[in-house]
Amino acid sequence: MNQLDFAGRHAVVTGGAAGLGYGIAERLIASGGSVTLWDRDEAAAGKAAAALGPKAFAVKADVAQQSSVAAAVAATLAHSPRIDALVNSAGITGPNTKLWDYPVDDWRQVMDVNINGVFLCCREVVAQMRKQGYGRIVNIASVAGKEGNPNASAYSASKAAVIALTKSLGKELADTGIRVNCVTPAAVKTAIFDQMTPEHIAFMLSKIPMGRFGTVEEVAAMVGWLCTEDCSFSTGAVFDLSGGRSTY
């Protein structure tokens, strides 16, 4: 594992109790920093923080609710004077079905978590980063946001929106010390697979030229670098982690 320099920095990782969020938090701690895990499952977040050790904290946060996100910022600043990085990792897939059969309530839930949640977390944390004059924001999008996966219209649309939000916010903050980027992984085998049908999982694998899914560690390595000071001239950018599926 290459050594990244996140020494003395503090990051908020949403959806940090498991999956990509947990792996990213683990990498940032290994790089010398500390993390606060935001998750709507308070018990799971607490258990994850305990497993990560003394440099990890847990805060309950429902990213789809502005009041909850604002409270999470306040709770985080109570034990850490700064939020140097924000990683928006919380997300859900929604059902795998044709658009004309897509349940309206499920569509709204996917949008609430996947894009409204990113908006709200950025909105509340950017205020703190602007006071500091420094920050790194990394949004977890998806190759589905570039290409559109069939039978996953809400997920694909929400991740396309994350890409566009990243580009917009990156330009708005380009003249500050804050950098905003996103990553677009192809499928990474985590617990989120439990929300997908076997047919959809097989479809995603068939699209990856490397013939395998990505790993949490591979995503965490790129996200970790994007959280460091070395990421200084990239903003509003999209970084692929697709095993060759997406080459543009």
- Helix or strand (DSSP H, E) at 135: strand 135-140
* Strand partners for 241: 185
Q: Which of 102, 134, 155, 248 is an active site residue?
A: 155
Neighbours of 134 (CB within 10 A): 17
Question: How far apart, in whole angstroms, are the C-alpha atoms of residue 180 and residue 65?
Answer: 22
Which positions ≥6 away from 101 have C-beta within 8 Å? none
Helix-strand-coil split of the chain, %, nearest 5: 50, 15, 35
Question: How far apart, in whole angstroms, are the C-alpha atoms of residue 156 and residue 151?
Answer: 9
Q: Is residue 102 among the annotated active site residues?
A: no
Best CA proximity match to 93, nearest among 158, 42, 44: 158
Cβ-contact 38, 63 below 8 angstroms = yes
What is residue 241's three-state secondary structure? Answer: strand
Best CA proximity match to 181, nearest among 135, 217, 215: 135
Q: Which residue type occupies 220?
A: A
Cβ-contact 80, 72 below 8 angstroms = no
Return the active site residues. Answer: 155
